[in-house]
Amino acid sequence: MLKECLLLAGLLCGTDPAWAGGCEKVTTPEYPPSVMAAHPITVKATVYFDTAANGLVSQLVRLDFSVGMDEASREAFKASIEAALKQYKCDPNSHLKQWFNFTFD
């Protein structure tokens, strides 16, 4: 079963960990400083990931962005998301979908 949730990510954005369906521990990814310095954009990332028997994220299955961007920016957002996912503790053996809204003020 695919569970879905939404977290805000970025500068001055908050998050409510209760949104993370099946996840008792979540972390909001940071807005990549390299993207902020070069050309800040607002982007929604849709992330599909699997969890292992211990509830930790075992793999990032798919990552989609709402806007086009250069490869360096894509990699910066991906690295930020992967770093956050390493902190997750979710239902074991699950396939999850989550959105991150990267914004700036």
Q: What is the pLDDT of residues 49-62, one digit of tens each?
A: 999 999 999 999 99
* Angle (CA) 77 75 19, round 5°: 30
In angstroms, the CA 58 to CA 87 distance is: 11
Tens digit of pLDDT for each residue in 38-90?
A: 877 888 999 999 999 999 999 999 999 999 999 999 999 999 999 999 999 88
Tens digit of pLDDT for each residue in 13-43?
A: 333 333 445 788 788 888 888 888 787 788 8
Number of H helices, E strands in the chain: 2, 6
CB 48 within 8 A of CB 83: no
pLDDT at 104 over 60: yes
- Residue 30, helix vs strand vs coil: coil
Domain boundaries, the chain: 2-103
Beta bridge partners of residue 2, listed in sequence order: 95
Residue 105 is predicted with a pLDDT of: 61
Architecture of domain 2-103: 2-Layer Sandwich (3.30)
